[in-house]
Structures are given as C-alpha cells and as structure tokens.
Amino acid sequence: TTTTTTTTHIHASASSRCRPPWLRNSSQRASRSFSLKASSSKQQQQQQHRDDFESFLFEWQSELCDKLTRLDGSNENNNHEGFCDDPWEREDGSFGRTRVFSDGDLFEKAACNVSVIRGTLTETRAKTMSSRGRKGINPKGGQKYNACALSLVWHPRSPHVPTFRADIRRFAVEPDSASVGTETNAWYGGGMDLTPYYLDEEDAKHFHGKCRDVCDEYQTRESVEKFGKHSLYRKYKEFCDSYFYIPARLEHRGVGGLFFDDVATRGGEDGDASVAPSDAKAFTKAVALSWLDVWEPIAKKKRNTAITEQESIWHQQRRGRYLEFNLLYDRGVKFGLDGVTPDRFESIMVSAPPRIRWDYKATPPEGSKEARLLEVLREPVDWVD
C-alpha cells in the first residue's frame, strides 16, 4: 500500500515571495496581507501543539531573520523585501517554516528553516538508529517519533566572507509497546562550521575560540579531571572534521567547527557520560544562540573587500565542493529526501549555493592563496588547542 502525503502552503503568496525578485509581481505582493490573516488560525493551532524546544526553534528563527536582514542592509538601500516566509504543513501533523533571503548586499543567499516531522520508525531507520547506540529503539520499527530542527546556511556574495552552516535538532521516540517505562527518549544534535574560500587564520582562530567557549561552559567537572580542559570542544571539533569530509576529493569541506549528535537527555552519550555536556538541551540552545556572535565579526571585516574576476571564479568552483558534500554524504539531506514530496523538495535543497562552477581539473597554482586553502582542507588544524 502506498500512502500519499499532501503538503499545504499556509500562505498562498509565500512560495511566490521565495522566488528570485525578477519573478515576482506587484499583485503577488498585494495579496500577502490577506493570506497572512487567513493563515493565523492555522499558526495558532500549531503553536498550541509545540513543546518548549519547538517553540525555541521558531522564536530564534524569527529573531535571526530580523537580525540578518538588518546586517545585510539592502532593505534600507533599495527596498529589499527581506526574508520570504513559506510556512507549510502536512496531513500527518508535520509542519515547518522555510525562510530565504536572496540577492542582498552581504548575502547572495541565506536560508533559515524550521521543520517538525512526525512519523513512525520504519524497520530500516530503526535498525540504523539502534546500530548507532540509541537506547530504547526497537530494531523492528513501529515506534512513533518526532524530529524537529532549525537549520541554516549563509552564502555571502563575497569570496572573502566564509559560508556559515549551522543547525540544532532533537529526535524524540515514544516508548515501544513491549518496553518497560513510559518516558519518551530524546537525543540532541547540532553544531556549526565555517567554509572559507580564502584562508584567514585569525578568522579561523576566532571562530574556534568561540566554539570552545560554548563547550567549556557545559563541560562537566568529571570530564575536566579525567580528560583535561576543553575535552568537550576537542571531541566535537574532531567529530566535525570527520563528518564534513569528501572522501572522493581527499579534502574537508571547510575549517570545521562543532558537530554533535545522539546526545541523550539523560545518562550521557552512547554510554560515555564523562564527555557529554552537563545538560543536553541547554547546551544545544546555547550553541544556537552563539551563531551570530561567532560569524558576524568575520563578515563585517571582509564584506567590502575588493573582488577580482579570478577570485569570483574560485568562489564558484569551491561552492561546487559544498554541494558535492551535501548531495553525496550529508545525513540531514538524505533524511529529508526520504519520502519528500515534490512541493517540499525546494526546502531540502535550499542549502545549495546560488551560483556554482565545475571546471575540469581546476587546480590552483603552487604557492597561491587558493593552494594554501587546499593545504589546510587536506589536513585539519588545531586552531586554538
């Protein structure tokens, strides 16, 4: 039996506003106020069914989009509309909001998405989760789950400003009918990573220093005594280096950052409580709240640097590597594509850079700035430790 899931756009004009500016017209803009009123009851119903973590995702998404619009500045200079707003919902109770900013002064494209997915574990997915050490999962499947996430990617216009990717997420599974106890198991994940096109070592040190700070705040005294200072940061830094790797290219996607997954609400992570944060949910929120403070100083310093034609070409060539990783290796993209409907495919692919080149064997000259970047991408650096 095949089940077809229908996705409903809450705003009739939302998808049109997410199109590039040259595809919009004045009548579409004029209809927005009407569609906003018509959708308010739907949004209120969704808000009533959100828990505190889901509410945090939507609230921080809205605040981030407002701050990024002001940081870009193009709405003040040329009446840019800012982030489009594309809420959606499905018959199974899943819902979310896709927000995209295009063609700005700082951001060529910025996406900031929230999704709340409700479903039932298939046997394949249950076996995968169980094999990764998640306790309380019946390998045969059948348990109800709730997966919620806030994910973002910022693709700056300038090759001198690094791309920034980040997310936080929670995967909660209801107890199996045959298990003892009635508590829902939940695991948290997330992180942030930096993808420069021209290496600035001071930027990398600043970025990793901030990553270390947020980890240190939630590192337990036991882990400091057993593994030393900054052990939580080192663990998630190494995880990030390992995860964002393109085996076919023998290079990492960027200069890393933090990446954590399967962090249990209680009892530590994969049986290794000494190197887990003291409070999984609070740590996950703290990571998210640090994103703009981590990246904004780097962007402000480099956004007005002059750009040559060769630098622009290199920018687009390296963006090709970014998309290669997303399509070939990223678990989040694969999860999103599992059963995706055509109308939500755009939300899954929203992290793709807007302009990309694939030039055959594009190898930079030895000793060039571009070659220096590749040296670092082939062998991760301990920027602050």
pLDDT at 124: 78
| Ramachandran class of 103: left when φ > 0, alpha when ψ lies in -120 to 50, beta otherwise | left
Pairing of strands 95-102, 144-156: unpaired
pLDDT at 265: 73
Positions of the chain with pLDDT under 50? 1-6, 10-16, 22, 24-39, 180, 267-271
C-alpha span between 250 and 244 (Å, rounded): 11
- In this structure, the number of other CB atoms found within 10 A of the CB of residue 79 comes to 7
Report the half-sphere exposure of 249 (CA within 13 A, side-chain side).
24
Q: What is the dihedral of CA 230, 231, 232, 234, to 10 degrees?
A: 90
DSSP lists the bridge partners of residue 90 as: 7
| Cα-based distances in Å from 249 to 186, 192, 328, 331, 374 | 35, 22, 12, 18, 11
- In this structure, the number of other CB atoms found within 10 A of the CB of residue 38 comes to 12
pLDDT at 337: 77
pLDDT at 14: 45
